[in-house]
Amino acid sequence: MAPAGSIDEICVNTIRTLCIDAVQQANSGHPGTPMAMAPVVYTLWQQFLRYDPADPIWPNRDRFVLSSGHASTLLYSMLHLTGVTSVDEKYERLGTPSVSLDDLEHFRQLGSKCPGHPEYHLTSGVETTTGPLGQGIANSVGMAIAADWLAKNFNRPGFEIFAYDVFALCGDGCMMEGVGSEAASLAGHLRLGNLCWVYDSNHITIEGNTALAFSEDVAARFLGYGWQVLRITDANDRERIADAIADAKRTKERPTLIIVESHIAYGAPHKQDTSAAHGEPLGEEEVKATKRRYGWPEDAKFLVPEGVREHFAANFSARGKTLHGEWNALFERYRTQYPDLADACERMQRRDLPGGWDRDIPVFPADPRGIASRDSSAQVLNAIAPRLPWLLGGAADLAPSTKTRLTFAGAGDFEADDRAGRNFHFGIREHAMGSICNGLSVSKMRAYGSGFLIFSDYMKAPIRLSALMELPVVYVFTHDSIGVGEDGPTHQPVEQLVGLRSIPGLIVLRPADANEVAEAWRVALSLKHQPVCLILSRQALPTFDRGRYAPASGVARGAYVMADGGGRLPEVILIGTGSEVQICVDVYEKLKAEGVGARVVSMPSWELFEQQDESYRAAVLPPSVTRRVAVEQASVLGWDRYAGSGGAIIGMKTFGASAPLKELLVKFGFTPEHVYAAAKEQLARKE
């Protein structure tokens, strides 16, 4: 039996049956959304998407984001059928299939490039890692912002180098998640006309019908956000789908939401529990019944009928190849006329930095009164940014406090009426800010977002995904401790540092003075595949005399010997981060005056320190020296790794309190007197 229908119908049903077979063979996954949305995605890719499968990192390609990450087989099937090829981490085009039929047959299995949810760094053609619902659509807002920013800053008369659109497929879960609402609100405010979300409104979630918990008028909500809203009552009406997408592409003054009414169990008429069709394999008998309904050979598995790949090649691939070729020719003329801009474009795409990007980073003179690390960070950021034109970001309504505004001439604000600016106003939307920064980063911007450290709790999901995707986003968190003072325990971070340190691949840096801040920024922007959290103080920190103490360049190694008696092993080691390094230095000087061999180790980054070889780590923290005191205004959890089983840890074991800073430092033991007493106890301790 040959598949029935026109070539378009056969292509749509090929997508559906590949998804069904992959889920069934894995005995795991979600077949419902791929079955229902196959006509929509087919129409978008075949008729509209500007994409060259031979080069999935072509800078001017349209972006397609599968925010409904549980429907991953839908994307994998499209990548396979359209012949998208692989690119490695060095951005080299390999020419091999991004997703082979064998990969699809091993969906959700170890080693396959088809994991349960799409992963950006694993499978070429996956524009961003999705899974936690709402993240993909929020990322797409960052991508759309990037497209507008790139166009405004790089396009010139006769040279439309950047002019791409961003499409995202989402579902009821994305509509319910708060991060989606935050991102949609900002997208409407910014009037991102290059953004289109396709909402699969099937009224089914894992627990059952959405009527259990979701009854709002989504269309009215998005109209209130300032979006254009279109509705399609039949997900199989490809003509109406095409009209809606064309309308979205014509609309340049606001983003578009296309609401597509679908039935999650379409093709599985015998299933009574439609939620099972969403979240479970169909079962062998239901697979056969579904294929019969599609006019498909019921015993065929992973069938790609003759002519399907050729049909995709004749439309999707041919259009993309032509557009890409025209763009390449345009870019070569652009390179001749605007060589500096062309060089910047190419460096940005490779995540390379401009020559001399760090030459203006200040060196701060010794100053016992010092400067808050948020203030020294502002100076460093504004010294770097003019030489790194694609460094941009902002705050969740806190730029005056986090000191992250770019203030040099021409920095400007990114607004609905001006896309050129580099200062972003995310509003009080921490969660969306993190996700949008990820979207900017996958678009090759060097993005940063800032807020108070306590509000990193609202951003855990996108920070984690930055690390999972290996994106070099910089998160700037100020008000780093109980030093917030009178604001009290609701605003005083205690457990946030250890929480961030627990994320694999994330670099956390808590610098001790202005020169450590400078080195922290140097480290952060030198990384290509790791996100960084900069943890900065509100209160002034003394700037250490680097002629007397070790240079701050030791920050690059995570921890370094800042002060030492020299010539012999220390009797006691004092370890601190951030503002507590000052206390350690004060105690060191007192012990030194008493003839005690003490050492101060500044440890701004556990993660960077752990990346060093064993000999360096042993040189900084000699295993034979077990008398140690670790000091940090944060949870003590994890510090036993460096203090040792017999060492002292001075940290937070409770929440903070509302009081002036000096009173809090005394109450919780962050004083030279208390640390000195702990050091003396260590010295008196028998090994």
Annotated active-site positions, please? 430
Give φ, ψ of 409 to 5 degrees: -60, 130
DSSP H stretches of helix in 478-579 = 496-501, 514-526
CB atoms within 10 A of CB 227: 24
Please give the angle made by the CA atoms of 39, 73 and 317, to the nearest 5 degrees. Answer: 60
Q: Which of 140, 141, 160, 158 is nearest to 150 (CA)?
A: 160
User: 404 — phi, psi (to 5°)?
Assistant: -110, 10
184 contacts: CB under 8 Å, gap ≥ 6: 137, 141, 197, 222, 225, 227, 255
3-class SS string, 346-403: HHHHHCCCCCCCCCCCCCCCCEEEEEEHHHHHHHHHHHHHHHCCCEEEEECCCHHHHC
Could you give the angle at the alpha carbon of 56 between the alpha carbons of 54 and 59, nearest 5°?
Answer: 115
CA separation (Å) from 294 to 240, 277, 291? 21, 17, 5
Query: Packing angle between helix 7-26 and helix 284-293, nearest 10 degrees?
Result: 180
CA–CA dist 503, 456 (Å, integer): 13
As a whole number of angstroms, the distance between CA 515 and CA 562 comes to 13
In the numeric block, the tokens 């605007």 are attached to 338
DSSP strand E in 525-618: where? 532-535, 540-543, 560-564, 572-576, 598-602
Beta strands in 443-588 (DSSP E): 446-452, 474-478, 507-509, 532-535, 540-543, 560-564, 572-576
If you search the block for the tokens 């920064």, which residue do you land on?
Answer: 437
d(CA 339, CA 246) in angstroms, rounded, equals 35
How far apart, in whole angstroms, are the C-alpha atoms of residue 241 and residue 428? 35
Please give the Cα distance from 677 to 685 (Å, whole number): 12
